[in-house]
Amino acid sequence: MLRPLLAGMLALPGGARVNVVPRADLMTMNIDERLGFILGRRSIRAYTPQAVSDEAVQKLLEAAMAAPSAAATDPWRFVVVKNREMLSRIADALPYGKMVGSAALGIVVCGDLEAAHDKQLSYLLQDCSAAIENLLLCAHVLGLGACWLGVHPREQRVKALHEILRLQISVIPMACIAIGYPAETKDPRTRFNPDYVRFEK
Amino acid sequence: MLRPLLAGMLALPGGARVNVVPRADLMTMNIDERLGFILGRRSIRAYTPQAVSDEAVQKLLEAAMAAPSAAATDPWRFVVVKNREMLSRIADALPYGKMVGSAALGIVVCGDLEAAHDKQLSYLLQDCSAAIENLLLCAHVLGLGACWLGVHPREQRVKALHEILRLQISVIPMACIAIGYPAETKDPRTRFNPDYVRFEK
């Protein structure tokens, strides 16, 4: 069945317009096919030297900022890094993030504590994490590989990223997402575990 | 181009197998169509009385547990609530969450601090939020409406949910997701804001 309310053109700030998904197209796919974009997203840590276009980066940011945030405060802030020297410095600051040094780009996802709902760190972390998951899924859909590299709550990493990116005092670097065209493939999976589910209580 | 590595059957714990998306199908859709599942997800706060099947709930949980977690510790725990009296009690505990009282079900997403990477609350919040975003996107794909109702860091709400659900001492209720078939529609959107993006620094 056509669901015209969900199809059509989407107006973006600045007057740009993009097509949004006509659900009728998706209706020809079964549920598991339609959920493949979630199960197929994996942490990709090896990248080809191929550059990532500015248009793709724009899509990643649009997807990230389509996440919900507490009281719609949108405390997320993004620093897009393509400069190789900067990427090397970030890689040096992240013990398990060496691969960002060979990625096409890194997007450092930060949260502005002044902008977060009630200036609460918990909301900042929740909102930024939802945005990151959207960004990772978008990367997968675009055929890119990406990996979430933890920064917060490691004080040394937070301090290092703060200095490298010259962030404002209220802006907390939460994670760095390494992004590039994948040089490794991984099978889709869920880590569904029935032990982690209770019914009613 | 066919990408057979991403197609085929996915083995789940317990021997169940599901089809995963054949990327060739998606290749017939343009990028904006393929990203529609992210931009089309909106917070839905009104629901029809229609029940949600156990199969759909299972998909929501599989999608949630396909999120990445810090050091793959998977600290997330889920309490599925369909009992109407329980839903009413949860609604009473959430000032902005009255709609869960009329939802087909609620899924309370908790984190076990003992299971979180380095027992850090920050990682617990990040991991659970990524799982929630997957769950919300999955709900949208399944034609369901869902809304993320904040619990943490509000002490009163955390305490109330803890009591209602009789959670273990180390398990923190982070959010309640109200879920049902939508009785309202919203247009797709991104809140993309160029002021929230910096390049290089």
Say what the alpha-carbon torsion angle A180, A184, A187, A188 is, to the nearest 10 degrees: -10
Question: Can you tell me which residue has the tokens 């599942």?
Answer: B37
What mean pLDDT is predicted for residues B77-100?
Answer: 97
Give every strand in the sheet of A145-150, ordered side by side. A145-150, A171-180, A105-112, A76-81, B197-199
B166, closest residue in chain A (CA to CA): A201
pTM for the model: 0.88
Report CB contact under 8 Å: A175, B126: yes
Cα–chain center distance at A57: 11
ipTM over the 0.90 cut-off: no
Q: Other CB atoms closer than 10 Å to residue A14's CB: what's the count? A: 7
Identity of the residue in B41, B185, B189 whose CB atom sits nearest the CB atom of A10 = B189
Identity of the residue in A74, A141, A197 whose CB atom sits nearest the CB atom of B193 = A74
Label the pairing between strands B17-20 and B8-11: antiparallel
Identity of the residue in B25, B40, B142 whose CB atom sits nearest the CB atom of A31 = B142
Q: How far apart are CA A55 and CA B109, in angstroms?
A: 35
Q: Which residues, listed in sequence order, are joined to residue A146 by a DSSP beta bridge?
A: A43, A179
Q: If pLDDT is split at 50, 70 and 90, which confidence band does B34 have?
A: confident
DSSP A128-196: HHHHHHHHHHHHHHTT-EEEEEE-TT-HHHHHHHHHHHT--TTEEEEEEEEEESBSS---------GGG
Question: In this model, does residue B161 exceed pLDDT 90?
Answer: yes
A22, closest residue in chain B (CA to CA): B33
Picking from A49-58, A92-101, B3-12, B57-66, which range would have the lowest pLDDT averaged per residue? B3-12
Report CB contact under 8 Å: B200, A80: yes
DSSP B70-84: GGG---EEEEEE--H
Q: How far apart are CA B134 and CA A133, in angstroms?
A: 7
Report CB contact under 8 Å: B33, A22: yes
* Backbone torsions φ then ψ of A8, nearest 5 degrees: 110, -155
Label the pairing between strands A17-20 and A8-11: antiparallel
- Per-residue pLDDT reduced to its tens digit, B118-132: 999 999 999 999 999
Identity of the residue in B5, B66, B148 whose CB atom sits nearest the CB atom of A68 = B148
Report CB contact under 8 Å: B189, A63: no
Q: What is residue A16's predicted lDDT score, i.e. its pLDDT?
A: 40
Report CB contact under 8 Å: B134, A38: yes
Report CB contact under 8 Å: B201, A5: no
CB A165 within 8 A of CB B201: yes
Average confidence score pLDDT of chain B = 88
- Per-residue pLDDT reduced to its tens digit, A83-96: 999 999 999 999 99
CA distances from residue B137 to A111, B43, B133 in whole angstroms, order as listed:
22, 11, 6
CB B177 within 8 A of CB B147: yes
Closest approach of B69 to chain A, Cα-based (Å)? 9
